[in-house]
Each structure stands twice: as C-alpha cells, then as structure tokens.
Amino acid sequence: MKILVMGPQASGKGTIGRMLSEKLKFPLISIGDILRHLPKSHPRYKEVNELMEKGELAPQDLIAELLEYRLAQADCYKGYILDGWYRAMENVRLLDVEPDVVIVLEISEETTIRRISGRRTCTSDGEIYNIYTLPKEELEECEGELVQREDDTEEAVKKRLSIYNTETKEVVEYLKNRGTNVREVNAEGPPEEVFEAVMKVLNPII
C-alpha cells in the first residue's frame, strides 16, 4: 500500500504521516528527512546543504534519484507513507511512484498563515513556539529571544501558497483524472481529529 500525503504548508502532513506510520507499521518517507540525512560524502552534499540553509529547494532530479533509492529498500516492500513529493508535475515526470491512495489535507489560507507566521524560535534552546496558539504565560517562560525565520513571514507564506495553489493542485487534478484514489480531508482541527478522519477514509481500502 503506497500512501501519498499532500497539502499546503502547516496542514499537518508530517504529523499525520507519523501517526499513520505508527498505526499501519509502514515507514514514513519524508523528502525533508532524506535531504537532511544526505551523507557528507555525497558529491552534491555541499550544493544541497547551501540551498537548504537559504530555505531554497534542492534540485528535483537529485531528490528523485535519492527517493527512488530509498523506496527500493526492503522496509518499503509492503508499503510506505510518502510526504513531500508530487509538489509539481515535474516530480511526476521525474519519478512517478503511482500511489494507491492520495490523502490531501485541506486548510484555509488564513489557517496556513496563522500557523506559520506565528512561529517563533527561541534563541536560547531552539524550541519553536507559536505566538497565536500558546498561552502568554508559557511564552513568557522562554528564557531566550523569540525570533521569526525569514521564510515564515506572512509575505513568504503567501508566496509559497500561490505555488501550491497552481503547481501542486495541478498534480492533484492530474491524479484524479487518471483514476488515482484521491481523498480530501479537512485538516483544520487538532491532529487527533484529523487522524481519525484520515483513518475513516483509509479503513475501507487498507
């Protein structure tokens, strides 16, 4: 069973992916994790590392190569959950994983902006907080300064959302048209509720 999790930033793809992995006993394959664990001995390590430090995307051909290798490992034979691929039609052309089911987590633009632009990183311990969701008392307990990453500003979030609404949604429509089992799930609620909704969709299939 090959399950692809899609959705805009802050829709909870990573969280739901981890919960599915634990429940179904399939490995969670995250493009971000693959790139972060790229060995220093890899000939393109420096290139990828510099791009990630700038918050830019790694070359898609390299990601496809690394992903294809990862999916060929023994733990993926029975199935896997994939997060971070099929962001654009270029991904499909480079490596079509032909998922059995696609879960699209849906949240409003306002929710995406609130979840991301509210993120702050503590300069003392590196913990990430959200100024919109955490109680004031908990925020005040942070010993360091809370800073916002450049790519977490509202302007940056809207730019990434624009890309999602054009390039990624094009992929979703393509998958629907070719007969892939695409299920859209409301992801506005807490992770436990979203996970329950996802399992209701998957139970008749798995």
CATH number of the domain residue 23 falls in: 3.40.50.300
* pLDDT, average across residues 84-92: 96
Q: What are phi and psi of 119, to 5 degrees?
A: -70, 135
SS3 state of residue 114 = helix
Looking at per-residue confidence, does 121 or 88 come out higher? 88
181: Cα within 13 Å, side-chain hemisphere: 12
CA 111/CA 116 separation, integer angstroms: 9
Looking at per-residue confidence, does 19 or 205 come out higher? 19
pLDDT of 135 reads 67
- Do the strands 146-147 and 119-122 form a parallel or antiparallel pair, or are they unpaired? antiparallel
Per-residue tokens: 128: 């990430």
pLDDT of 31 reads 92
Q: pLDDT band for position 125 (50/70/90)?
A: confident
Instruction: Write down the H helix ranges in 44-187.
Output: 45-53, 60-71, 89-94, 109-117, 136-140, 154-163, 169-177
Q: Which of 197, 10, 5, 4 is nearest to 109 (CA)?
A: 10
Q: Which domain holds residue 71?
A: 2-202
On the question of pLDDT at 129 being above 90, the answer is: no
Neighbours of 13 (CB within 10 A): 23
Report the number of distinct structural domains present in the chain. 1
pLDDT of 144 reads 80
* pLDDT, average across residues 27-53: 88
Looking at per-residue confidence, does 157 or 71 come out higher? 71
CA distances in angstroms from 118 to 10, 33, 52, 104, 131, listed in the order given: 11, 23, 21, 23, 5
The chain-wide mean pLDDT, for the chain, equals 90
On the question of pLDDT at 155 being above 70, the answer is: yes
pLDDT in tens, 176-201: 999 999 999 999 999 999 999 999 99
46: Cα within 13 Å, side-chain hemisphere: 1
* pLDDT, average across residues 38-48: 88
* pLDDT, average across residues 40-58: 83
pLDDT of 138 reads 66
On the question of pLDDT at 160 being above 90, the answer is: no
pLDDT of 51 reads 82
On the question of pLDDT at 99 being above 80, the answer is: yes
